[in-house]
Every structure is written in C-alpha cells, then in structure tokens.
Copies of this chain bind each other. A is one copy, B any other.
Amino acid sequence: MSVEFELLARCPTTGARRGRLHTPHGVVETPCFMPVGTQGTVKTVGSDDIESLGYQLLLSNTYHLSLRPGSNVVSRLGGLHRFMGWKGAILTDSGGFQVMSLAHRRKVSDNGVVFQSHLDGSQVNLTPERSIEIQAELGVDVSMMLDECPPYPCSREDTEAAMRRTHLWAPRNLDARASGQAVFGIVQGGVFEDLRQESVSTITSYPFDGFAIGGVSVGEPTELQYPVVSMTAPLLPDDRPRYLMGVGHPKDILHAVAAGVDLFDCVLPTRMARHHSLYTLGGRVNARNAQWAEHDGPFDPDSVFPATARYPAAYIRHLFIADEPLGQRLATLHNLAFYGRMMSEIREAIERRSWDRLVERYQRA
C-alpha cells in the first residue's frame, strides 16, 4: 500500500525532474498538479470530470473531512476513494494548516493542537498520532505529517519555535503509521535560509516517503518565496518526491519545477474560476468583462479545451452575469484544463529538453 517514486529524466538546463509516483490507486506522472477537493469534492465538478480532465492525483483535507462527515464514517463507507467515487490517487494534508487558518480558540502545545470546530464549536484534539490515524481511516494514498505552520508574516523567533515543534512531531507522525501507510515529511523554517537548512537536515533524517516544503504560500510575496524554493528543493533527497504545498500561479509552478519540485496543489485555478477569472496563455481574463458580451469565440484561441469548447465566451459571461451556477462550473473546468495542459507540457518539455520554449509560452499566463 505504500508509494514508490521513479525518476525518469532530468532537464539538462534546470533542476527539473520528470518522474512517476506509483500509488495503490495508479501511476501519477510528475511534475503533477493536484486539484483541491477540500470537503471531498473539487467545488462544482465531479470525480468523473476530474478523471476526464486527465488528473491522476487530487488533494483533500483531513481537517474538514474529520469534522464532517467524520473519518470514521468515511472509513465505514469503504474509504475516501469509494465515498467520492474517485478511482485515482488521493493525498491529504494533515490538518495543521487549516487548524491555524479556520479553527477557533486553538491552543498549540508540544502535545498537539486543541481547538474548537469552526462548524459546531465542539472541542477537538489534533495530535500527530491522531492526524495520521485519521488519514489512515480515510484510506488515502499519501498522508502528510502534522506540522506547525505559522502564518506569514512571522518573526524569526516564532518561525523557529514552529519549526522545532514540527521537528519534535516528525518521528511521532512516523511511529503512528499504519502498515504500508505512506507519509510525507514537511520542512519548515519560513524565509530564513539557515532555518530551512536545519529543517531539511532534520526532517530528511527520518524515513518519510516524500518531502514537502511547507509554510511557503501563506501570504508570502514572490520575492521571498522564490529564494526559499530555489534553495530548499535541491537539498531534498533526489530519490523521493518533492512537494511544494499550496503553490501556485503558473509562473510559480514553472519556477519551482525548475528548482526540482515534483508535486503541487493550490486553490487558485478553482477559486479564481468561481470569481470568473480564467487562465489563458495570454494572461488571466475576467469573464464578466463587457468585452466578451458579443464574443462568439473562445476567450483565447490558444486556450480551448474539450470540456468547454462548445460554449462561446459570450455565453460564459452571460452565465456569470445572470448568476447561473453553470458559470462557476464551466470556469472551473476551463482553469483545471489549463493547469492540466500546463503540467502535461511541463513533463513534455523536460523529456524533450525544450524548457526555455515552454517558459516563453507561459510567460503571460
């Protein structure tokens, strides 16, 4: 039931890697982007849609699913795959990030986090052991270790304290593993180079199945994010998958792939879609803009995808203006198709040694 990472090719001019993650629910070609299905659903689209778009791995949330419907319920129903009708692989985050951003009255101690559910105010105790246990109950392919993820901006002192706690929790996460459960470690350390180095060296000393760079996307501006990624990614073990959590814009993903990152997740394509913002090779467009009111073609002739090709821009605009739920759905399908194609072209560019051409193609996206 564990996962295995296979390295297929390296980009000759950058640190980009072309790989394959073998999971109990099929092969995941990397570099890979995971759509975010927070509550066991990628908002507005079904598992059949995600499958049709060619995705092989999606992300869901331990925090949300443990509160509703409850990991015990999902477990009794045969696991998250069966529950949401998804045949591909699933990675869950540990809940640490959501506890910090959503839960009320949280108290972090060396033992774990005690917080009030944002749904009904009930008190919940999340420890590394419990987080790993919940993810085992969900039956996912990749579990993430519980870490402490301080929000940006964060002083050096607080960043270091969160990192030390993350290090303290790392072995407890591993010890709690069920047989064959794949768990990824998470490197913290904020924007401080020496802390990141220390965190890499501590976290990678444990036998995790993969390694993530955490605490990067939480409101951090690009000029701080890029150096952290460039510096941290190459320090991670070459033989295991590297995952940059919560990133990001197309240009952020291109940058991180070039630094050697294999896995990504982000709410951007789906959240932007719900706010009528569509990714195209020519840049993001506002689907509600009057310029599309009588536009019979696509928003961008170079960004046309099977799932939405039959609908002219004017129609999608009309759906948003008329507050029709189909608008958010079509925009979501569009943006996920855009990200899916980008990842496929990234993999191709690494194999064909045409990285520079790819970067040029996506320079306005």
Q: What is A's interface to B at a CB cutoff of 8 Å?
A: 39-41, 43-48, 64, 68-69, 73, 76-78, 82-85, 293-294, 296, 310-312, 314-315, 318-319, 321-322, 324-326, 328-330
Are A69 and B319 closer than 8 Å at their CB atoms?
A: no
Are B44 and A325 closer than 8 Å at their CB atoms?
A: yes
Are A326 and B44 closer than 8 Å at their CB atoms?
A: yes
Residues of B near A311 (CB, < 8 A) are: 46-47, 84-85
Are B41 and A83 closer than 8 Å at their CB atoms?
A: no
Q: Could you tell me the distance between the alpha carbons of A95 and B295 in the complex, rounded to whole angstroms? A: 26
Residues of B near A325 (CB, < 8 A) are: 43-44, 325, 328-329
Are B84 and A294 closer than 8 Å at their CB atoms?
A: no
Q: Could you tell me the distance between the alpha carbons of A47 and B46 in the complex, rounded to whole angstroms? A: 16
Are A46 and B321 closer than 8 Å at their CB atoms?
A: no
Residues of B near A39 (CB, < 8 A) are: 318, 322, 324
Q: Could you tell me the distance between the alpha carbons of A82 and B296 in the complex, rounded to whole angstroms? A: 9
Q: State the number of copies, please.
A: 2
Residues of B near A312 (CB, < 8 A) are: 77, 82-83, 85
Beyond the given pairs A39-B318, A44-B329, 9 more chain A to chain B contacts, judged by CB atoms under 8 angstroms and listed by A's residue number, are A40-B315, A41-B324, A44-B326, A46-B311, A46-B326, A47-B311, A69-B293, A84-B311, A325-B325
Q: Could you tell me the distance between the alpha carbons of A276 and B147 in the complex, rounded to whole angstroms? A: 38
- Chain B CB count within 10 A is highest, among A73, A84, A315, for A315
Are A310 and B47 closer than 8 Å at their CB atoms?
A: yes
Q: Could you tell me the distance between the alpha carbons of A294 and B294 in the complex, rounded to whole angstroms? A: 48
Are B329 and A77 closer than 8 Å at their CB atoms?
A: no
